[in-house]
Amino acid sequence: MKPDIDWANLGFGYIPTDYRYVSNFKDGAWDEGALVTDATITLSECACVFQYSQSCFEGLKAYYTKDGHIVCFRPDLNASRMAETAARLEMPPFPEDRFVEAVKQVVAANKDFVPPYGSGATLYIRPFMIGSDAVIGVKPANEYHFRIFVTPVGPYFKGGAKPMTIKVSDFDRAAPHGTGHIKAGLNYAMSLHPIVVAHQEGYAENMYLDPQTRTKVEETGGANFIFVTKDGTLVTPKSPSILPSITRRSLMYVAEHYLGMKVEEREVLLSEVPDFAECGLCGTAAVISPVGRIVDHGRVIDLPSGMEEMGPYTRKLYDTLTGIQMGRIDPPEGWVVKIA
């Protein structure tokens, strides 16, 4: 039955859908996996995920294209990033080809929840994995639960395309030795207090600095940074402790090959931020959300692009990326995967 959802006014929240994909790892192997209807999980109180946070996740989206197909964006990169995260956490990687097939299956089974083309909403896909059997000594679990659920979502940041004000965080999210390149529950738990503080103070997000020197720009709690220089070069921070964003990798390609921009992935010092013309947050959930103002402990950095609309380069990057994702612009080979 078609769900009764007001697509245009959807926030970024969880709405249970009809099906989720589940596979369990036991005795050294993943089972064949299946679509199930139960949105709950029953586990031992001593499951490794509860005691030692052995968990990781991914995030990607499915869309209706202009010509009426359902597609998703670069799921192979989520599959490989999740395998890398799993390895770092001593979890058994879920086979990458099966990951992509499972994404297709679960989206197709929930096709009534894929928001219509042009509604501004999308279907967010959340694959995750947890250590599921009882472990009391500090060691990895023996059994694992892999699951993918989907939920229709609207914009991640309230206000949509309006530029936001963010703050330079007083907290570190990543450890100094750099584990931020994994997408794991514990990393995000470390950003919960900083985001509550930032919201209480009226900021939309935190700019985290490198935990070792606190002089270099890293990322935010849920997105990477992109900057544009006054002469139109895309600059994005290089760091071992940020998540290698698939959106950012895609934007670097789009900037160079579709828009003819110069692209630099390099260390970005906080002290050079006032020289940039535009700033945005990029990610699956954030897409590209413009930043107009950054507050560094009372020092206000206003981006020349202002607080009214996204800057011209950010706008071009946004239009081209979303155009590729939604079938208005020809994608590079393999980026857009047809589901239905």
Please give the residue ranges that form the binding site for ligand COI (CB under 6 A): 59, 222, 283-285
Work out how close the CB of 209 gets to ligand PLP at its nearest, in angstroms, rounded to a whole number. Answer: 14
d(CA 174, CA 194): 12
Length of the chain: 340
d(CA 301, CA 303): 6
**Residues in CB range of 325: below 8 A, 6 or more apart:** 61, 63, 71, 73, 331, 336
Binding stretches for ligand PLP (CB under 6 A): 59, 219, 222-224, 243, 245-248, 283-285
Work out how close the CB of 41 gets to ligand COI at its nearest, in angstroms, rounded to a whole number. Answer: 20
Indicate which residue of 61, 167, 183, 316 is catalytic. 183
DSSP 33-55: -EEE--------TTBHHHHH--E
Work out how close the CB of 211 gets to ligand COI at its nearest, in angstroms, rounded to a whole number. Answer: 20
Work out how close the CB of 224 gets to ligand COI at its nearest, in angstroms, rounded to a whole number. Answer: 10
**Binding site partner of 246, from ligand COI, ligand PLP, none, Cβ cut-off 5-8 A by kind:** ligand PLP
Look up residue 50 and give its two tokens.
């509860």
Consecutive H or E run containing 322: helix 312-325
For ligand PLP, give the closer residue by CB, 78 or 132: 78
**Binding site partner of 182, from ligand COI, ligand PLP, none, Cβ cut-off 5-8 A by kind:** none
d(CA 96, CA 123): 21
List the Cα angle 102/108/110 in 5-degree steps.
Answer: 105
- Answer yes or no: 183 catalytic: yes
Alpha-helical runs (H) found in 163-306: 185-189, 192-200, 246-257
For ligand COI, give the closer residue by CB, 75 or 283: 283
Which of the residues are catalytic? 183
